Amino acid sequence: MALKALVAALAMALLLGCGVVSGTVFTLVNRCSETIWPGLAGNGGTSLAGGGFALSTGQSVPVNAPTGWSGRFWGRTGCAFSASGVGSCATGNCVHGLKCAGSTGEPPATLAEFTIGGDAGKDFYDVSLVDGYNVPLSIRAAGGTGDCRTAGCSSDLRSSCPAELSVKGSDGRVIACRSACNAFGSAEYCCTGDHGNPQTCSPNKYSQIFKAACPTAYSYAYDDASSLVTCTHADYTITFCPSAAC
């Protein structure tokens, strides 16, 4: 009878999802020389892991996402939070403090974007500089089938950022690099209005700087061919400073 009871309990746990990981596991890794505060925001205002936490140098944290989840991850830098999570960050800041709670970060920020189990069960992912750049970042797939290549930006664009796009901290150092759209807001750079399709919105001199430094990252809105990756049934490692460059 004890064995039957154990089997029944295990069956109930499976039905309820108790102790069983389903969907996709994202592992966030910090190889930077400073603490990074990841922000996590799902489309429609949903969030994972409360929307944010501190990630110390050398630390890795797994985050579970259900099938069908879509959203973005980004790194926040130069943050100061109280014990209750009130505070702000120098880059990638979100309005709710430590726990972004569904809100997205302020540009410029390097983004890791995902749609899990979308078309025909495929995952779609990319690293985007369309909202600018603040920290090196990569996405590596594990255990999946399909293209599944690594996407990212390992270069430190802060050192090569044009002056008109540079964001400086209180000490005068460049802490982030704005995109041309974020800096100038024109249709030409934002791919809006008369420039709202791939035929009329081409790479510009600023996006080409991003693309030369980070060939596998989105450099502007229609940079799909070399930047969007598809994979099926994979887990993903998101690494900040993948080459330990900062």
Classify the phi-psi angles of 107: left when phi > 0, otherwise alpha if psi is within -120 to 50, otherwise beta: beta
Maximum distance among all Cα pairs of the chain, rounded to whole angstroms: 75
56-68 average pLDDT score: 94
- What confidence tier does 224 reach under pLDDT thresholds 50, 70, 90? confident
Classify strands 235-240 and 24-30 as parallel, antiparallel or unpaired.
parallel
Which of 50-54, 168-172, 177-181, 222-226 is predicted with the least confidence, judged by mean pLDDT? 222-226
Return the pLDDT at 223: 86
d(CA 238, CA 91): 18
Which of 56-60, 136-140, 220-224, 227-231 is predicted with the least confidence, judged by mean pLDDT? 220-224
Residue 125 has pLDDT above 60, yes or no: yes
Q: What CATH number belongs to 23-155+215-240?
A: 2.60.110.10
Residue 2 has pLDDT above 50, yes or no: no
For the chain, how far is it from start to end, CA to CA, in angstroms? 60
56-61 average pLDDT score: 97
- What confidence tier does 126 reach under pLDDT thresholds 50, 70, 90? very high
What is the reported pTM?
Answer: 0.87
Read off φ and ψ for residue 6, nearest 5 degrees.
-65, -45
* H-assigned helices in the chain: 2-16, 180-184, 187-190, 205-213
Return the pLDDT at 22: 57
Return the pLDDT at 67: 84
Sorted by where each begins, the domain ranges of the chain are: 23-155+215-240
